[in-house]
Each structure stands twice: as structure tokens, then as C-alpha cells.
Amino acid sequence: MAKTRQQKEQDIQVLAEGFKTAKSAVFANFHGLKVSESDELRATCRQQNIQFFASKKTLVKRALSEAGFDVDTKVFDGGVATMLGMEDEVAPAQIIAKFAKTHEMVTIFGGILEGAYINAEKVTHLSKLPNKQQMLGQLVGTLNAPISGFVNVLAGNIRGLVTVLNGIKESKA
């Protein structure tokens, strides 16, 4: 069933507000997906706190212009799946890139990062970066490395002493 003008206006407002508050956005083609595959993509987005919108490119163009973005939507072909990352800049790109590997009909059109439009190639590069949780884990590991190294050095001396004492004990026995 076709959407009424009022429903379209409401969708534009929701999308425009999402573009203003999101840390990043990714646009992709989702035509040709089965309903179960589309539901799988939506569920993955929900788990990562990513808002997923499926709409026509004219509605996306109007929402982008209302949000203050100048994006040429001519590169968008058909319906547009828009993923808005509210917490993590990398998560939408990672999810759609991973999904596109197993579903050939999904193509990335581009995205928005730090208030500027980025092309599909840059979205693909962005998808290869670690996400926020991985970066925090790497930071903790880096901060912990000198401390654990120091502990290992101290424990090495004690281990050496125990080994020597054990050797003396075995030689006298």
C-alpha cells in the first residue's frame, strides 16, 4: 500500500532528525533481498543500536537537504537502505560490508561521516577499522602491557631461584 503524503512527511522528519544526531550514516541498495534476509539485516542493526530505514531516494534526498547535507542522490539506484550509527561511527559500515559479502545484490552507495559525504570506497575502508569496543580493548591492552611485563620480569627472578633450588635438591637426592 502506498504511503500518504503525511506519512512521507513524517518519514522525512524522522530521517532528517536521525541525520542530525547520528555519528555516521551508510546508504546501500537492498533490492532483491528476501524478506527473511532483510529481517536478518534489521535484527543485526537493532543489536548494535543502529537505526535502519528503508525508503525511496527522493525521501532520503529531502531528509538530507532538511538536515543540511548536500548529497547527490543520483548515485543511489532504486530504494535506499539507510543505517544510522548513534553510538559508533564504524558499526553501520561494518554491518553492511559483512552483509554484502554474503548477499551479492547488496551494494554500498556511500555514507556520511563527521558531517561530510563519503563515497562507497571510503565506507568500505571504514568498515575495516575496529569498532569502538575493539578500540577500547586495544587501549586497555596497551596500557596494561608495561605492568604485566614488569610483573613477568619480577616473577622470572623468583622462577629462576626456584629452578636452581630444585636442581640442588635433585642433585643431593
pLDDT number for residue 83 = 93
Q: So where are the chain's domains?
A: 5-129, 130-173
In Å, what is the CA distance from 99 to each residue of 56, 95, 140? 21, 6, 29
**From first to last of its 173 residues, what are the pLDDT tens digits of the chain?**
677 888 888 888 888 888 888 889 999 988 888 888 888 989 988 998 899 988 888 888 888 888 888 887 777 877 788 999 988 889 899 999 999 888 888 888 889 988 888 888 999 898 898 877 888 898 898 898 888 888 888 888 888 888 988 999 888 87
Q: What are phi and psi of 167, to 5 degrees?
A: -65, -40
CATH architecture of 5-129: 2-Layer Sandwich (3.30)
Query: Residue 65, Cβ neighbours under 10 Å: how many?
Result: 15
Cell of 78: 532504486
pLDDT number for residue 147 = 87
Burial 89-117 (b: 16+ CB within 10 A, else e): bbbbbbbbbebbeebeebbbbbbbbeeeb
* Total residue length of the chain: 173
Q: What are phi and psi of 106, to 5 degrees?
A: -85, 125
